[in-house]
A = this chain, B = another copy of it.
Amino acid sequence: MTKALFLNCSLKSSNEESNTEALMKEVITHFNKENVTSEIVRIVDYNIKFGVSEDEGYGDEWPEVFNKVKQADIIIIGTPVWLGEKSSVAKMVMERLDGGSGLTNDKGQYIYYNKVVGVVITGNEDGAKNAASSILYGLTHIGFTIPPNVDTYWVGEAGPGPSYIEAEGYKNDFTMEHAKIMAYNLMHFARMLKENPIPAEGNVVEQS
């Protein structure tokens, strides 16, 4: 069965409503129809330490999240937009994922090979593409695959204003169509890579 893991990088813990999570649920609707299982993790519910290693010790709960990453076929990073960019929590997650980028699978490829990644972004205004660009690039740089059209976002008109839930972003056809295309392309590629993993030719890294 195909497993999707949603890492919600909201600045707020799960006792508060998250716009990003509301949009994630649109993606999940499509996964449900296709027997892809979904799990949402609210990052700030965990005690994640700043750092660039797999385990920063002393109560660091990243290893628990990282274990979920290892078992998932599809990773979706969700982030709000602040000052026109992804959140600090999203960057922290990328730094921790980078901390595992030295690991290899049993063929000697980077551990993220054959995993696919997408993004879900919400904000009251401008910054979604910048956030998408940064997250998708950072993760392909460490070994994830990016299918086409895996950036689902909603932002409002320039200036202060309501975000996704209050603005009823679900009425935006563009955003809803992208949620669907993203869900299907992530699923198609996850299955394709499960049946035909990336050949271990030309991409086996030397252990350092």
Least CB distance from A29 to B in Å reads: 12
Q: Give A158 Cβ to nearest chain B Cβ, in Å.
A: 5
Interface size class of A (residues with CB under 8 A): 35 or more
Contact at B203–A83, with CB atoms within 8 Å? no
CA distance A180 to B206 in the complex (A): 13
Which residues of B lie under 8 Å from residue A153 when comparing CB positions?
Answer: 126, 158
Please tell me how many copies of the chain the complex holds: 4
Provide the residues of chain B in CB contact with A87, threshold 8 Å: 50, 91, 95
Q: List CB contacts (< 8 Å) of A54-111 with chain B.
A: 82-89, 91-92, 94-95, 98, 110
B-chain residues with CB within 8 Å of residue A125 when the two chains form the complex: 155
Residues in chain B near residue A82, CB distance under 8 A:
52, 91, 94-95, 98
**Closest 8 CB pairs between A and B?**
A184-B202, A159-B174, A84-B129, A133-B137, A88-B91, A88-B92, A146-B146, A130-B130
